[in-house]
Structure 1
Amino acid sequence: MSPRIFAWLVRGAVWLTATGLLALLLITHVSRPIDESLYDLNMRHWTYVPGDDTVIVAIDPKSLAELGRWPWPRSLHARLIDRLTDAGVRAIGMDITMSTPDTAHPRDDHALAAALHLNGHVVMPVFAEADDLGGTLEEAQPIPVLARDARALGQVDVTLGADGITRGIYLKAGLGSAYWPALALALYRLDHPGTAHLPGLRNPAPAGTSPYLWVRDYYALMRFAGPAGTFGRVSYADVLDGRVPASLLKGRVVLVGATAEGMGDIIRTPDGLMPGVEYQANMLESLRRGSLVTPLDFTTQFATGALLLALPCLLYGLPGLRRIRGAALLGVLLSLLTSLFLLRVADCWWPPAACVLSIAIVSILWTLLSRLSPRDPTDTTSA
Structure 2
Amino acid sequence: MLKRGLAWVVGFAALVLLIATSATQRVDNALYDMHMRHWSHPTSDKVMIVAIDPQSLAELGKWPWPRSVHAQLIERLTQAGVRGIGVDITMTEPDLNRPDRDRAFADAIHRNGHVVMPVFAEAADQGGVLEEVLPTPVIATSATTFGHVDASKDFDGVARGVYLKAGLGQPLWPAFALALYDMNNPAPQRTLPGLRLPNERLDSPYEWIRDNYVLIRYAGHTGSFNQVSYIDVLQGRVSTHLLRGRWILIGAIAAGLGDQLATSASDANDLMPGVEYQANVLESFYDSSLITPLNLPAQLLLGSLMIALPLALFGLPGFRRTWQIATFALAATPLSSLLLLRRFSVWWPPGCCLLVTVLGLVLHVALSRFDQHHERRMKSRLAINDAWWTKGAP
TM-score normalised over the length of structure 1 = 0.94
Describe the shift of the 1:375–1:103 C-alpha distance in structure 2 as closer, same or farther (beyond 3 A).
Answer: same
1:370 CA drift (Å): 1.3
Aligned to 2:99: 106
Instruction: Return the alpha-carbon distance in structure 1 between the equivalents of residues 247 and 231 of structure 2.
Output: 18
> Alignment identity in percent?
52
The equivalences for 1:189-204 within 5 A come to 189-195=182-188, 196-204=190-198
Aligned to 1:208: 202
Amino acid aligned to 2:305: L
Aligned to 2:390: none
Aligned to 2:57: 64
1:323 CA drift (Å): 2.3
Instruction: Return the alpha-carbon distance in structure 1 between the equivalents of residues 184 and 29 of structure 2.
Output: 33
1:294 and 1:347 in contact (8 A); partners too = yes
Q: CA RMSD in A?
A: 1.5
Aligned to 1:255: 249
Aligned to 1:233: 227
1:207 CA drift (Å): 4.4
Give 2:11's match in structure 1, choosing from 13, 18, 25. 18
Aligned to 1:3: none
2:258 and 2:274 in contact (8 A); partners too = no
Instruction: Return the alpha-carbon distance in structure 1 between the equivalents of residues 371 and 353 of structure 2.
Output: 27
Counterpart check, 1:143 vs 2:136: yes
Instruction: Return the alpha-carbon distance in structure 2 between the equivalents of residues 346 and 44 of structure 1.
Output: 19
Corresponding pairs, count: 370
SS for the counterpart of 2:244 is coil
1:178 and 1:206 in contact (8 A); partners too = no
SS for the counterpart of 1:187 is helix
2:120 and 2:133 in contact (8 A); partners too = yes
Amino acid aligned to 1:313: L
2:40 and 2:220 in contact (8 A); partners too = yes
Instruction: Return the alpha-carbon distance in structure 2 between the equivalents of residues 288 and 140 of structure 1.
Output: 28
SS for the counterpart of 2:198 is coil
Instruction: Return the alpha-carbon distance in structure 1 between the equivalents of residues 351 and 374 of structure 2.
Output: 28
CA deviations over 1:200-237 (Å, ceiling 9, x no partner)? 11122574331111000110000001111111000001
The equivalences for 1:314-325 within 5 A come to 314-325=312-323
Give 2:163's match in structure 1, choosing from 170, 178, 189. 170
CA deviations over 1:11-51 (Å, ceiling 9, x no partner)? 11111121111111101111011111111122112111111
Amino acid aligned to 1:17: V
1:250 CA drift (Å): 1.1
Instruction: Return the alpha-carbon distance in structure 2 between the equivalents of residues 60 and 376 of structure 1.
Output: 74
Aligned to 2:379: none
CA deviations over 1:134-160 (Å, ceiling 9, x no partner)? 211100101111111111100000111
1:177 and 1:206 in contact (8 A); partners too = no
Instruction: Return the alpha-carbon distance in structure 2 between the equivalents of residues 48 and 376 of structure 1.
Output: 58
1:89 and 1:252 in contact (8 A); partners too = yes
- In structure 2, stretches of 5+ residues that fail to align are 376-394
Aligned to 1:354: 352
SS for the counterpart of 2:193 is coil
Give 1:368's match in structure 2, choosing from 358, 366, 369. 366
Aligned to 2:310: 312
Deviates more, 1:317-326 or 1:244-253: 317-326
1:193 CA drift (Å): 4.3
Instruction: Return the alpha-carbon distance in structure 2 between the equivalents of residues 204 and 292 of structure 1.
Output: 21
1:324 CA drift (Å): 2.4
The equivalences for 1:229-308 within 5 A come to 229-272=223-266, 273-308=271-306
1:325 and 1:363 in contact (8 A); partners too = no
